[in-house]
Amino acid sequence: MSKVEDKLAELGLELPEPVPPAGSYLVGYRSGNLVFTSAVGPRSADGNVTGVLGADCSLEQGYEAARRTCLRILTNVKSIVGDLDRVSHVVKVFGMVQATPDFNQYGQVVNGCSDLLVELYGEAGKHARTSMGVAHNPFDGAVSIDAVFEVRE
């Protein structure tokens, strides 16, 4: 098991089983030393975290949904590079929060993903980021997030 997966275990977390793409696309793509992941949500084999922030989904539930989404992203990165210890830096995270028009705490929701990446990778987990609100995410997911990772051979 990798050092990153050991850290996940210490946090009481584990990578979920892969969820196949819902259409004609890849879960991610490696180009040189960069891995670009497709956007995923908090969907897994045992369900999905759905809801609208500012209506029927609390900030805490949104944060946990983003954290769960991060685990899905890491599962996809592992499927591409084979070992999460090959990540040398998290470059960028782009989070879309399904929210009411008056909800504006997108950053606090997407912190669920960002905080976990920093817990796992330390300084190398700090990244550029965009977080924004959207009317609808696929599968009614509370969040949808994609990311870019720098990897080494």
SS3 106: helix
Residue 63: predicted pLDDT: 97
Residue 46: predicted pLDDT: 74
CA–CA distances in Å: residue 27 to residues 7, 81, 108, 111: 24, 12, 25, 22
Dihedral over Cα of 132, 138, 143, 148: its sign: negative
- Percent of the chain whose pLDDT exceeds 90: 90
Pairing assessment for the beta strands 128-134 and 143-151 based on DSSP bridges: unpaired
For the segment 97-114, the average pLDDT, to the nearest whole number, is 98
Q: Which helix (H) or strand (E) holds 112?
A: helix 106-121
Task: Tell me the per-residue pLDDT of 4-52, one tens digit each, with 9 for 90 and over.
Answer: 999 999 999 999 999 889 899 999 999 999 999 999 999 876 778 899 9
For the segment 55-61, the average pLDDT, to the nearest whole number, is 96
- Percent of the chain whose pLDDT exceeds 70: 99
Mean pLDDT, the chain, whole residue set = 96
Does 125 score more than 80 pLDDT?
A: yes
If one counts every other C-beta atom within 10 angstroms of the C-beta of residue 123, the result is 7
pLDDT bin (cut points 50, 70, 90) of residue 73 is very high
Residues 93/114, Cβ–Cβ less than 8 Å? yes
pTM equals 0.96
Taken in order of first residue, the domains within the chain and their CATH numbers are 3-14+44-151 (3.30.1330.40)
Task: Tell me the per-residue pLDDT of 85-104, one tens digit each, with 9 for 90 and over.
Answer: 999 999 999 999 999 999 99
If one counts every other C-beta atom within 10 angstroms of the C-beta of residue 85, the result is 17
